[in-house]
């Protein structure tokens, strides 16, 4: 189950994900992302607005950033979708665990403790060449 690399952001610790509201205004959020099959995968709370925005408009932009969201490189355009298939979600989580190791396991623990694990959403981003 080795991840296939293929995006210029595969090795970035954080990326800034910009999703778009219905009025076209962009909203930027720093997130963890891992490469999987030439795309990027992200885990987030399924009730977050970025999930709602991606469902309404799959257009997105991403750039490398620091933990606070300060952009430190070029922006890339792409599209995003919410993964629905349980196998795809499991593969996304495995890719994130491989990249972030103990840090995502801590997130897993607190998600379990706060009973938010079932609310998770996995996003898949495809960058435009």
What pLDDT is stored for residue 112 in this prediction?
64
3-state secondary structure of 106: helix
What pLDDT is stored for residue 1 in this prediction?
37
Residues 6+ apart with CB under 8 A from 44: 31, 50, 51, 120, 121, 123
Task: Count up the domains in the chain and report the number.
Answer: 1
Residue with tokens 């293929």: 6
What pLDDT is stored for residue 103 in this prediction?
74
What pLDDT is stored for residue 83 in this prediction?
97
Q: Which two tokens stand for residue 117?
A: 């694990």
What is the domain range of residue 121?
A: 14-127
The reply to whether 5 falls in a domain is no
Among residues 23, 20, 9, the alpha carbon closest in space to that of 62 is found at: 9
The reply to whether 4 falls in a domain is no
Q: What is the pLDDT along the chain (129 residues), one digit of tens a residue?
A: 343 447 889 999 999 999 999 999 999 999 999 999 999 999 998 889 999 999 999 999 999 999 999 999 999 999 999 999 999 999 999 999 999 987 777 776 766 665 565 678 999 999 986
- The C-alpha angle with vertex 97 and arms to 96 and 101, in degrees rounded to 5, equals 125
Sheet holding 76-82, edge to edge: 26-31, 14-20, 59-65, 76-82, 120-127, 39-45, 34-36
What pLDDT is stored for residue 128 in this prediction?
87
pTM of structure: 0.85
What pLDDT is stored for residue 118 in this prediction?
60
The reply to whether 45 falls in a domain is yes
How far apart CA 52 and CA 19 sit, in angstroms, is: 10
The reply to whether 8 falls in a domain is no
């Amino acid at each position: 189950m080795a991840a296939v690399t293929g995006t210029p952001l595969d090795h970035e610790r954080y990326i800034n994900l910009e999703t778009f509201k219905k009025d076209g205004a962009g909203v930027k959020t720093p997130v963890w992302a891992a490469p999987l099959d030439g795309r990027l995968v992200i885990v987030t709370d399924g009730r977050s607005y970025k999930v709602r925005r991606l469902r309404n408009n799959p257009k997105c932009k991403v750039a490398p950033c620091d933990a606070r969201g300060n952009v430190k490189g070029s922006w890339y355009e792409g599209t995003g979708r919410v993964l629905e298939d349980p196998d795809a979600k499991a593969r996304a989580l495995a890719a994130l665990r491989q990249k972030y190791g103990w840090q995502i396991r801590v997130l897993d623990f607190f998600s379990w403790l706060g009973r938010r694990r079932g609310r998770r959403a996995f996003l898949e981003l495809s960058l435009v060449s």
